[in-house]
Structure 1
Amino acid sequence: MNDQTPGRLPVDATLEMRVLREHVASVYAGNTTAIAAHMGFAIVIGCFGYFYVNPDFRLLIVALITVIVLVDLYAMITPRWTPAVPLSETPYWERKYTRIVTVISTVTAPSSLFLVSIQEPMLTTLVTVVIMGSWTRAVQARWPLKRAMFGYGIPMMSGLIVSLAWYGGALNWFLAGFAFVNLVLTLSEGVKQNKRLTASLILQFENEALAAQLREQIAATERASAEKTHFLAAASHDLRQPMHAIALFGAALGNTLRHRPEVRNVERLMRAVDALGASLDTMLDISRLDAGVVQPMPHALELDELFLPLHNTFSVLAERKRLQLRVRASGLWVRSDPQLLYRMLSNLVDNALKYTRHGGVTVVARRRGEQVWIEVRDTGIGIAPEQADRIFEEFYQVNNPGRDRSRGLGIGLSIVRRLGRLLGHAVELRSRPGRGTRFRLAVPLAEPTDASQDSLPLQELESPVRHFFQVPELGGRVLLIDDEEDIREAMTELMRAYGIEVVAVAGEAEAVEVLMQPDAELNPVALLMCDYRLGEGAEGLQVGLRLRERFRLDAPMLLITGETAPERLQRVREWGVPVLFKPVSAATLMQAIVELMQVEAHAEGA
């Protein structure tokens, strides 16, 4: 086999060895059948010659056929190549095969001397045609190995040509010439076919190598994405723990100092905590979307119900930057999830305001067939064409090499794309650098309806307002399980400020001791509150479920966690347990307690 195929780069040794292995496998696949056919053909020709040629040659014919049969038998019983043979031994088997077929062809070549003559022209012609036909078919089977093809083809056909020329005569000379032309053409075609087969195998292996590299790159990308997700989840969890404690202590401190001038410092502290919490929540949103725990609940809704809180939320920021924010009422109805659609719009408006220095931002909706196009336009710095796809990548920002915190984390548009795919709303971008940008959402049109829809409350769309909750009588105490001492103290102090009795423990064993105390029935647990990740690898979800089952607790359970790992979020969702994500503000925590107790009271009343 050639080391180099014309028009291609040199083939490396390993690839060449693999190609040779395929060629050897090809010829050995039909080797036993071919040798058996050759042996049968030799016996038939020998019998024919024994009875129809000069009796003086009979002994030679018998001897020659015996030698041919013995050689064929040796070729059949000798060890053969198998797929288990190491790749490095392939050249040995190629040489062995070439030697065997060369010997077979050489011992068969003299048989032509006894089968052609000048006395029987028709018989000579028939024998010549039969020999050339079988020879051509046998040579074609050995095209994958060029040396074996020549080793088998030349001796046998040379024997026929020499035999015809030896006897002479016009017919024999014609047949000899015909056999010579057949020899040259068949071997020439064999060389071409060998090159084609070799080139085809090289291309196949190169494609397989490219496919393997592509699979490795895809796997590496998936691993990197998973590692990034796990890193963000771990970092987010570690940051959320102290942030959660700071938020709770700050709320308790603010409650204590609410009638003193120092409360302003507490408010500044809580604004900083809220800003950091918003950044962590953004990373949590990515993890939740990747985990598949966000389930859309689409229904018919009036767009103006989203546009009004959208305007209220961002009008203050627009005025602060001296920009115009126009959110035009449309009267149109669409089919979507109100919470998720609002999140898409708020991210787009927030992004537009960040990158607009003069002019303003406009939000409009228009009907186009069976769709409603919602457009967010700005007169900002615009986006270059080469950056149009990259802006949807996580943490990518245009013209922010210094990572100015006022421009966010660069995750907002990534969330928009994920939500668009989740809801089935196409997101289209058009922009001109220096002139502005337009984002368009294509949302299905819906018929107006007067029926109220069960949906997620829109209260989350408004900016949160801190206020003191009137907590109903719980009818018992809260059992808090958290392995962080600071967090136990902060949550205990906060809930006691609201008149809630709290028993805080670090783990399952302590919780069991509390529930086994003699007065446990007199002062029952009204709410079980667990951190998701407890000490020594325990999971708060499983701990809470075991406690409820063991002590037959009817109390609702609330999980509080700093986890953002997709697989853990998915597990929580499957169990249907309410969950709050750290850092939890005092207002959010108390609101969750109020809602849980209202649901419990409603269930008991039913």
Structure 2
Amino acid sequence: MAVAQPSDASSRSRLLAEQVELLYRHAPSIYAGNALAASGLALMVWDQVERAPFVAWLGVLALLTAGRMALVGLWRRQRGQIVHPARWANAFAAGAGLSGLLWGVMGGLFSGPDPLQMASVGVVLAGLVSASVSSLSVYYPAYAVFALPAILPIAFRCLQSDDGFMRGFALISIGFVVICLIFAWLNNRSIRAAILLRFENLELLREVSAQREQATAAREQAEQANAAKTRFLAAASHDLRQPLQALSLFIDAQAHHQDAAAMQQLNGRMREAADNMGLLLDNLLDYARIETGALSPQCASVPLTACFARLQSEFAPIAAERGLALRFRPTPLHGVTDAALFEHILRNLVGNALRYTEKGGVLVACRRRGDSLVVEVRDSGIGIPAASLGDVFKEFYQLANPERDRRKGLGLGLSIVDGLARALSHPVSVRSQPGRGSVFSITLPRGEAPPPVMPVVAVTAAQRLSGRRVLVIDNEADIREALAALMRSWGVDVMLAESAAAAIALDGPAPDAILADFRLHGGHTGIDAISALRAHHRFDIPAALITGDTDPARTREARAAGFALLQKPTPAHRLAALLDYLLEPAA
């Protein structure tokens, strides 16, 4: 029977520890058996041996047994703290060897010349040796050092006799001990195999339990994700329908008004509804990019004062309208971050702080903390209950807005803050006291200020675009006309086409830039159209893509092809900035 052996020291030590456990657990019964055998032997030979040496032998055996019992007691006290099981195994084997030696001395010295007496002593010794197979073979060396010295002395004495019975008894004793050693060896292998099998079963049970726990956790996570998706879709659907419904009603109302002032007011409300819908779509797109891991932060040393100045200019009118104080504490510090994503985080935090502050104000400040910077957005608003601090970063979660009033935001701001902060590895935290306000903190690495550069005269993108020739390729006529109307207001000469073939058929010189929709008719893409136009005009015309598809794969395809990609709906300032970027090399 082949028994798998542990391949590493840790497994071998663990196996030996189990063997030691079995040895010491069964030791008291072994010692009781030795005492019983010694008592029976004393009754058998008491009248046939010299009593003084025999009593001395009994005394030494008793002392040895007491010492072995003391060792068992010590093992029990240190049972849970045993680090070196080999030491305990060797100590047990030493006791077993001394015990075997004592029994062998008894057989060699106190068995008289009478064959019956010697046979009686031999039977007692054989009983001890055979009975010890089941208990001492747990650790084979312990059995071997007991059995051999217990049997061999009396066997050698019998061999020295001229009596054929005695010599035969000696041969039988030697054969018996050899057979016992073989049985003990086989039993030891079986015990070791059983222990190893138990280890494997326990390991398998642990693996099954771990897999069950993983499966349970995965199922719970999937259920939570499904519930979150349901809440997300319900909230997104509600918040998208609201501005769309308003826009539809304003359009219908405009059709029945002739008064210029009323028309202007309706146009303003239509613009507000469209802006709200665009804001939600932007937030949903940001959320999708975060959740799908489509963000690719480009970190560098960024002056925080420039970011603070832009946000101050953006939010100052909003704060003034609400009668709130908005202060950005000037700082000369630089942080290592992605400038656009970090500014997006601060924009959401400042907007959220103003939204939930009715009196007092908002303070944005930066301080050093070792090699890091901590940017804090402090407000004196309504605060956040302690029970809700763990929920404020969830999507569409809003305090005190069960009716989902859009004037109180969409509930995605802090979720986007958390996702962007994770993408940038900028830990974000919040502390708050209801009724006294909240403090949101972002930690980022401290950067070094770059060398100063000479100032340049600022020119607006619209001024630089005037007179340039731009080709728009889109299979939606309304989109083409809307883009053309916007760009013509900047003085751009706009060419329109629904496909690459239609663009090639247009008269006139090559465009200065191409703006193509990603998805076109016939399974073609804007990438195909740009390639065809470049091949037709025989030079790489600056080009970019625009799409309403929020799949992150579109962004990856555009980036792989070397094109910038704008998501619909595209604000005018972003479109102008993109065209300005495309045309800058030729300007």
Structures share a fold, TM > 0.5?
A: yes
What amino acid maps onto 2:443 in structure 1?
A
Say whether the 8 Å CA contact 1:468–1:587 is kept in structure 2: no
Q: For residues 71-470 of structure 1, what are the structure 2 equivalents within 5 Å?
A: 120-139=168-187, 141-142=189-190, 198-199=201-202, 201-214=204-217, 220=222, 262-289=263-290, 290-301=292-303, 303-452=304-453
Deviation at residue 433 of structure 1 after TM alignment: 3.0
Q: Secondary structure at the match of 2:392?
A: helix
1:479 counterpart = 2:465: no
User: Structure 1's 128 and 323: CA in aligned 2 closer, same or farther, altered over 3 A?
Assistant: farther
Q: Secondary structure at the match of 2:170?
A: helix
Give 2:519's aligned residue.
Answer: 533
Larger radius of gyration: 2
Deviation at residue 137 of structure 1 after TM alignment: 3.9
What amino acid maps onto 2:545 in structure 1?
L
Deviation at residue 266 of structure 1 after TM alignment: 2.3
What amino acid maps onto 1:593 in structure 2?
L
Q: Secondary structure at the match of 1:132?
A: helix
What whole-Å deviation, never above 9, does each CA across 1:308-334 have from its counterpart, x for those lacking one? Answer: 332222222223333332322234343
Q: For structure 1, which segment, 433-442 or 121-130, has the greater mean C-alpha deviation from structure 2 after superposition?
A: 121-130
Equivalent in 556, 563, 579 of residue 577 of structure 1? 563
Deviation at residue 277 of structure 1 after TM alignment: 0.7
What amino acid maps onto 1:420 in structure 2?
A
What amino acid maps onto 1:368 in structure 2?
R
Q: Secondary structure at the match of 1:570?
A: helix
What amino acid maps onto 2:327 in structure 1?
R
Deviation at residue 561 of structure 1 after TM alignment: 1.3
2-structure distance, mates of 1:129, 1:496: 110
2-structure distance, mates of 1:393, 1:453: 45
Say whether the 8 Å CA contact 1:376–1:440 is kept in structure 2: yes
What amino acid maps onto 1:538 in structure 2?
H
User: Structure 1's 263 and 580: CA in aligned 2 closer, same or farther, altered over 3 A?
Assistant: farther
What whole-Å deviation, never above 9, does each CA across 1:95-152 have from its counterpart, x for those lacking one? Answer: xxxxxxxxxxxxxxxxxxxxxx97533333333333333334434555699xxxxxxx
2-structure distance, mates of 1:437, 1:558: 42
Structure 2: tracts of 5 or more residues without a match: 1-164
1-structure distance, mates of 2:476, 2:228: 28
Q: Secondary structure at the match of 1:391?
A: coil
Deviation at residue 558 of structure 1 after TM alignment: 2.3
What whole-Å deviation, never above 9, does each CA across 1:504-557 have from its counterpart, x for those lacking one? Answer: 3333xxx22541x4x75x433333221112234432223323442355243221
Deviation at residue 226 of structure 1 after TM alignment: 13
What amino acid maps onto 1:127 in structure 2?
G
What whole-Å deviation, never above 9, does each CA across 1:465-516 have from its counterpart, x for those lacking one? Answer: 9x97674323x5x432222232233334444555655443333xxx22541x
2-structure distance, mates of 1:584, 1:131: 93
Equivalent in 512, 520, 542 of residue 501 of structure 2? 512
2-structure distance, mates of 1:481, 1:121: 111
Q: Secondary structure at the match of 2:271?
A: helix
1:601 counterpart = 2:586: yes
What amino acid maps onto 1:491 in structure 2?
L
Q: For structure 1, which segment, 562-571 or 316-325, has the greater mean C-alpha deviation from structure 2 after superposition?
A: 316-325
Q: How many residues align?
A: 407
User: Structure 1's 278 and 306: CA in aligned 2 closer, same or farther, altered over 3 A?
Assistant: same
Deviation at residue 586 of structure 1 after TM alignment: 4.2
What amino acid maps onto 2:476 in structure 1?
E
1-structure distance, mates of 2:335, 2:458: 16
What amino acid maps onto 2:515 in structure 1?
M
What amino acid maps onto 1:365 in structure 2?
C
2-structure distance, mates of 1:344, 1:334: 14
User: Structure 1's 221 and 550: CA in aligned 2 closer, same or farther, altered over 3 A?
Assistant: farther
What amino acid maps onto 2:210 in structure 1?
N
Give 2:95's aligned residue.
Answer: none
Say whether the 8 Å CA contact 2:555–2:565 is kept in structure 1: no
What amino acid maps onto 1:512 in structure 2?
A
What whole-Å deviation, never above 9, does each CA across 1:402-461 have from its counterpart, x for those lacking one? Answer: 22222322222222223323333322222223332111222333444552399xx999xx
Say whether the 8 Å CA contact 2:510–2:537 is kept in structure 1: no
1-structure distance, mates of 2:527, 2:181: 80
What whole-Å deviation, never above 9, does each CA across 1:4-33 have from its counterpart, x for those lacking one? Answer: xxxxxxxxxxxxxxxxxxxxxxxxxxxxxx
What amino acid maps onto 2:278 in structure 1?
G
1-structure distance, mates of 2:490, 2:316: 34
1:566 counterpart = 2:552: yes
Deviation at residue 601 of structure 1 after TM alignment: 1.9
Q: RMSD of aligned C-alpha atoms?
A: 4.4
TM-score calculated relative to the size of structure 1: 0.57
1-structure distance, mates of 2:289, 2:364: 27
Seq. identity, %: 32
Give 1:67's aligned residue.
Answer: none
User: Structure 1's 402 and 342: CA in aligned 2 closer, same or farther, altered over 3 A?
Assistant: same
What amino acid maps onto 1:408 in structure 2?
G
2-structure distance, mates of 1:308, 1:396: 30
Say whether the 8 Å CA contact 1:391–1:397 is kept in structure 2: yes
Deviation at residue 569 of structure 1 after TM alignment: 1.3
Deviation at residue 280 of structure 1 after TM alignment: 0.9
What whole-Å deviation, never above 9, does each CA across 1:172-204 have from its counterpart, x for those lacking one? Answer: xxxxxxxxxxxxxxxxxx7x9877765554334
Q: Secondary structure at the match of 1:445?
A: strand
Say whether the 8 Å CA contact 2:301–2:334 is kept in structure 1: no
Structure 1: tracts of 5 or more residues without a match: 1-116, 146-189, 460-464
